[in-house]
Every structure is written in structure tokens, then in C-alpha cells.
């Protein structure tokens, strides 16, 4: 065991992410609406249209949190497993599924970097607003590749970097000033939202992230920008 600077920083990130999502779980859905002006719902609808789930398929919704993507996927009749590292987020999700009478979802506490599922289990893997929180993104991508069947599809919805210059400035000002304030006002939790904004700023841009997906073994990797790349859908195939 070594306690060099990097190990400490890495352990801190995992702990910090755990604290953040335990802290925001109860207010998570309200905050998503408040911060994105409801737009996250449209992005998620568009994402699931890209996935094109089909009845009978098995889909792993990684970092599935409170179930937003899984609920949309399961309308197709696909068998969806919602996996997340954080039990508090999954509990909120399970309550929501009961209230909305959405049956058939499997809920699993899992770290995206070290999945307990066997090889080649799923037809599709989705991860929405989750991968930037993962400490070792390369390990999560390698695990996604491992658990997918041949012919399986990988889809990621994540904040990225908008290439619309004026918009980038407006967004920067909004996210750094307003989002922590909204976090304080609505969830009494300024720090967690400051962390979330910081993690968006640090995440690789579209071409770099596409390169990481290719490195993990995926082919025909594409990046589809939304709002100039403020948000992006990346996809790839396992062959």
C-alpha cells in the first residue's frame, strides 16, 4: 500500500463523491429541474431515443441514481438493471418506482469501476451524468466493455464543453455563481453543488472523451453535441 499524493487524492475523490450524493439524494430531482430549467428531461428523452431500447433486451443503467433513465428505458419492455454506488440514491429511486407503478426493475449497489456482473451479460450499457463522478474513468469504460455482449451498445450522456463562444461565457458565469446559490437555497448544500460544477469543468472535451471510449475497445464511436456540446451523447459498439 502506498500513500503517495495521487493515492490520497484518488481516495478523497471517491469519498467526496459518496458524501455529495448521500447529501443531495433527497433533493436530487428537484435540483435537476431547478438548475437546468427542466431541460434535463428533454436531454434524457433524447438520450433514450438514441438508445432505442427494445422489448426483451437487457440493459444496464449505470450510475442510474434515482431512476430517470431506467424509467424511460423500461417503457420499451427492456429488462433494466439500475446500478449505482450510492444506496441513498437507489432508495429514492425505488420509492419513485413504487409511486409510479413501474415494475420489473432490478436495483443493484455497484461501483462502475468493479462490476460484479459476469462477462457479456447486457445488450446495452447506459450512463447519464454519472461518468464524470467516477474516479478512474478508464476502468469504468473497460468494465462497460466487459459486461456488454458482442454487438452491444454503449451510450453516455454527460456535460461537456460547448463550442458556442458567447454561450460558454454565459454558462460559465451561471454555473459558478448561480448553481451553488441554488444549492444553498433549495437543498441547503452549497458545497456539494460547487463540487458538481467543478467536476463538469474538469471533464475531458468531446474528442478526448471519444478517444477514451475507443481506447476501451469500442468501435464506431460517435459524439453528438447538444447546445454546442454543453451536453453530449457519446456512443460506441462492442464487436
For residues 2 to 41, the per-residue mask of contacts with ligand SAM, x marking binding by CB under 6 A and - elsewhere, is ---------------x---x--------------------
| For ligand SAM, the closer CB: 9 or 219 | 9
If the CB atoms of residues 12 and 169 are measured against ligand SAM, the closer one turns out to be 12
CB-closest chain residue to ligand SAM: 65
Residue 134 near ligand SAM by CB under 6 A: yes
Strand 58-62 to 219-226 pairing: unpaired
Count the site residues for ligand SAM by CB under 6 A: 19
- For the chain, how long is the longest CA-to-CA vector? 49
Contact between 158 and ligand SAM by CB under 6 A: the answer reads no
Take residue 203 and report the three cell numbers written for it: 471533464
In this complex, which beta carbon is closest to ligand SAM, that of residue 89 or of residue 223?
A: 89
Beta strands in the chain (DSSP E): 58-62, 79-84, 106-109, 122-128, 148-159, 219-226, 231-237
Three cell numbers, residue 204:
475531458
31, 69, 187, 226: which one binds ligand SAM (CB under 6 A): 69
Place of cell 446495452: 124
Strands (E), 44-181: 58-62, 79-84, 106-109, 122-128, 148-159
Residues binding ligand SAM (CB under 6 A): 17, 21, 63-65, 68-69, 84-86, 89, 111-113, 128-130, 133-134
Amino acid at each position: 500500500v502506498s500513500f503517495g499524493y495521487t493515492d490520497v487524492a484518488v481516495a478523497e475523490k471517491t469519498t467526496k463523491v459518496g458524501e455529495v450524493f448521500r447529501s443531495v439524494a433527497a433533493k436530487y430531482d428537484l435540483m435537476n429541474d431547478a438548475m437546468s430549467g427542466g431541460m434535463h428531461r428533454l436531454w434524457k428523452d433524447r438520450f433514450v431515443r438514441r438508445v432505442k431500447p427494445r422489448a426483451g433486451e437487457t440493459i444496464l443503467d449505470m450510475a442510474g441514481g434515482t431512476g430517470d433513465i431506467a424509467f424511460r428505458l423500461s417503457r420499451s419492455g427492456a429488462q433494466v438493471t439500475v446500478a449505482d454506488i450510492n444506496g441513498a440514491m437507489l432508495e429514492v429511486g425505488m420509492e419513485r418506482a413504487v409511486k409510479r407503478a413501474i415494475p420489473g426493475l432490478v436495483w443493484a449497489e455497484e461501483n462502475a469501476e468493479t462490476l460484479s456482473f459476469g462477462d457479456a451479460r447486457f445488450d446495452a450499457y447506459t450512463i447519464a451524468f454519472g461518468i464524470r463522478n467516477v474516479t478512474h474513468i478508464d476502468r469504468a469504460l473497460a468494465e462497460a466493455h466487459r459486461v456488454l455482449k458482442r454487438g452491444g451498445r454503449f451510450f453516455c450522456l454527460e456535460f461537456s464543453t460547448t463550442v458556442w463562444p458567447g454561450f460558454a461565457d454565459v454558462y460559465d458565469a451561471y454555473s459558478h455563481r448561480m448553481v451553488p446559490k441554488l444549492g444553498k437555497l433549495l437543498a441547503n448544500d452549497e458545497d456539494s453543488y460547487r463540487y458538481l460544477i467543478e467536476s463538469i469543468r474538469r471533464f475531458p472535451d468531446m474528442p478526448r472523451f471519444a478517444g477514451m471510449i475507443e481506447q476501451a475497445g469500442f468501435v464506431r464511436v460517435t459524439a453528438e453535441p447538444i447546445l454546442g456540446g454543453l451536453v453530449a451523447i457519446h456512443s460506441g459498439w462492442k464487436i
